[in-house]
A and B are shown apart, each in its own frame.
Chain A
Amino acid sequence: MNALIDAVAVESRKARSARVLWSTGALLTFGVATLAAVVVAAGRTADPAMLAKLGPQAATGDWTALLATAAQVTAAGGLLAFGVGLSWLTGREFADGTISGLFGLPVSRSAIATAKLIVFLAWAVVVSAALTVLLLVAGFALGLGAPDVAAIAGVARQFALGALTALIAVPAAWAASWGRGLLPGIAITVGILVLAQVSVLADFASWIPFVAPAFWSIHPDVDSALALSVVPLVPLIFGAATVMVWRRLQLDR
């Protein structure tokens, strides 16, 4: 247990100084909030051509429009941002060559890999919370007034969507570890993103864990909420696989 505490302390210290995590988190939070705010601001204009382009949901120009837009962008952009962050957290040891310094230590590589996943999830929760707060600030700044019950549920859903999206990005850790670099992690993230978006657009296979959060964010009903119960399988399976790769790691290639 002490070894895991030491590993978490080291990984969290590295993460706090990591420009990649700061910039990726900032890009996601400010990017999504700005995009959602711009769409709502456009929806509040009286220009019929603009309203037609935005579609019925965004054109309402209220909290629902803000949160629906944010959810759609988070489902795709969040996955990419979290996948990049996690690919860097794990793959950078191979890319920088520091992996060789992680052998012959009392802190096992399993503990280090577990610590990386813990730090990633903590980072993702902070980023998701920051994005949620920023959306609230944007809503008030746009003059949307106090959010009603439905809007408050939408705010909670936005935070949950961020955290769930981080969970389905965990295969990036496995790919970056197995492939020993950042690019395999980013590649698998893009693959998951394509699978999720195509499935949502085709209204198909909402029960697939990689698809469920995006589907739920767009159709938040009982069925799509139930489908979320399979999402934890992704971090469990791919988290365990990541730890296994690190435990058995040999620097033979």
Chain B
Amino acid sequence: MSDVRLRLSGVSRTYRGGAGVHGVDLDVAAGEIHALVGLNGAGKSTLMKLMVGMLRADAGTVEVLGRNIFGTDGVDWAQVGALIEYPLAYGELDGRTNLLMAARLRGMRGRAAATAVDGAIDELRLDRYAAVRARRLSLGNKQRIGLAAALQHHPRLIVLDEPTNALDPSGVILLREALLRRAEAGAGILISSHHLDEVARIATRISVIADGRIVGTLDPDGIDIERAFFAMVYTAEATTS
């Protein structure tokens, strides 16, 4: 079985007006936390939308767990956990029921679903909110529910777009530990962020995106990665303008 959990080859998607992503090659291996960093509007979310079929690429291919996402073989999506844009948290349902629904949408039922949900509630310290309807939760706690929904089934590939959005410091630490545990267990993880310090703590690899293109990589253990990041971004912008 391939060690590559996600592979994008020459992926392009251009919106009206020219924005989008252009000729992106990117992969995520098993056990790796690959961070995608860029300024707002750089193309991070577009790229992640392409990974789960929210958008179709104009060119190139997206392979998830070794299968083309629009191929006839079909991806085993039950082995994927993603949180892109809004958390899957329905206001009329409490935290626990939301997680049970997310598990059911991945084919988990009965005791297996209940065990997974209990584990996620425990791991992300959601016990106080398990019986509270999502519409009464703060944005940060809704985000925790969404993260739990993406992680609770221990997927082999995890794709998270700006996962620390609205999280408080304790939520950030809980997420960081949850991701490190899953990477250690063999999951391939891709996270996008515009917080360099945050991703540098956990990433094994950092790719920089600017103007819809991957413009370089950063060493997570590097000394002044902020300076290196901006140098890459400004060089890319100067080249394309």
Q: Real complex partners, A and B?
A: yes
A residues sitting closer than 8 Å to B (CB atoms) are: 2-3, 6-7, 9-10, 13-14, 17-19, 96-98, 100-107, 250-252
Within the assembled complex, what's the spacing in Å between the Cα atoms of A247 and B188?
Answer: 28
Interface residue? B101 (CB, 8 A): yes
Question: How many B residues have CB within 8 A of the partner chain?
Answer: 35
Q: Contact check: which of B56, B87, B107 meets A6 at CB < 8 Å?
A: B107
The reply to whether A98 and B86 form a contact with Cβ atoms under 8 Å apart is yes
Interface residue? B49 (CB, 8 A): yes
Interface residue? B82 (CB, 8 A): yes
State the main secondary structure of chain B at its contact with A.
Answer: loop
The reply to whether A6 and B52 form a contact with Cβ atoms under 8 Å apart is no
B97 nearest CB across to chain A (Å): 7
- Which 5 A-B pairs give the minimum distances between C-beta atoms? A101-B88, A104-B52, A97-B86, A100-B85, A17-B92
With A101-B149, A104-B82, A106-B77 in contact, is A250–B54 under 8 Å at CB?
A: yes
Interface positions, chain B 183-226, Cβ under 8 Å from A, are none
With A9-B104, A251-B49 in contact, is A14–B84 under 8 Å at CB?
A: no
Question: Which chain A residues border B76 with CB–CB below 8 Å?
Answer: 106
A20 nearest CB across to chain B (Å): 9
Question: Which chain B residues border A10 with CB–CB below 8 Å?
Answer: 101, 104-105
7 A-B contacts (beta carbon < 8 Å):
A10-B101, A17-B92, A17-B93, A101-B88, A103-B82, A105-B77, A106-B105
Question: Which chain B residues border A9 with CB–CB below 8 Å?
Answer: 104
Interface positions, chain B 24-80, Cβ under 8 Å from A, are 49, 51-56, 76-78, 80
Question: Which chain A residues border B51 with CB–CB below 8 Å?
Answer: 104
Q: Contact check: which of A13, A19, A104 meets B53 at CB < 8 Å?
A: A104
Interface residue? B125 (CB, 8 A): no
Smallest Cβ-Cβ distance to B64: which chain A residue: A104
The reply to whether A104 and B77 form a contact with Cβ atoms under 8 Å apart is yes
B166 nearest CB across to chain A (Å): 13
Interface residue? B163 (CB, 8 A): no
Question: Which chain A residues border B91 with CB–CB below 8 Å?
Answer: 96
The reply to whether B93 and A14 form a contact with Cβ atoms under 8 Å apart is yes
Interface residue? B21 (CB, 8 A): no
Q: Contact check: which of B54, B55, B77, B85 meets A97 at CB < 8 Å?
A: B85
Contacts A10-B101, A96-B91, A252-B55 given; 13 further ones with Cβ under 8 A?
A: A6-B107, A14-B93, A14-B101, A17-B97, A19-B92, A98-B90, A102-B105, A103-B54, A104-B52, A104-B77, A106-B77, A106-B105, A106-B107
With A14-B92, A98-B90 in contact, is A104–B80 under 8 Å at CB?
A: yes
B120 nearest CB across to chain A (Å): 15
Mask, B92-124, CB within 8 Å of A = 1, is 110001000110111101000000000000000
Mask, B136-158, CB within 8 Å of A = 1, is 00000000001001000000000
Question: Which chain B residues border A19 with CB–CB below 8 Å?
Answer: 92
With A14-B92, A14-B101, A98-B88 in contact, is A107–B107 under 8 Å at CB?
A: yes
Question: Which chain A residues border B52 with CB–CB below 8 Å?
Answer: 103-104
B76 nearest CB across to chain A (Å): 7
The reply to whether A14 and B90 form a contact with Cβ atoms under 8 Å apart is yes
The reply to whether B104 and A101 form a contact with Cβ atoms under 8 Å apart is no
Smallest Cβ-Cβ distance to A6: which chain B residue: B104
The reply to whether A96 and B82 form a contact with Cβ atoms under 8 Å apart is no
Smallest Cβ-Cβ distance to B109: which chain A residue: A6
The reply to whether A252 and B92 form a contact with Cβ atoms under 8 Å apart is no
B107 nearest CB across to chain A (Å): 5
B27 nearest CB across to chain A (Å): 17
Q: Contact check: which of A7, A96, A104 meets B90 at CB < 8 Å?
A: A96
Smallest Cβ-Cβ distance to A15: which chain B residue: B92
Within the assembled complex, what's the spacing in Å between the Cα atoms of A100 and B91?
Answer: 15
With A96-B91, A101-B87 in contact, is A13–B101 under 8 Å at CB?
A: yes
Question: Which chain A residues border B232 with CB–CB below 8 Å?
Answer: none
Within the assembled complex, what's the spacing in Å between the Cα atoms of A13 and B93?
Answer: 9
Smallest Cβ-Cβ distance to B52: which chain A residue: A104
Smallest Cβ-Cβ distance to B100: which chain A residue: A13
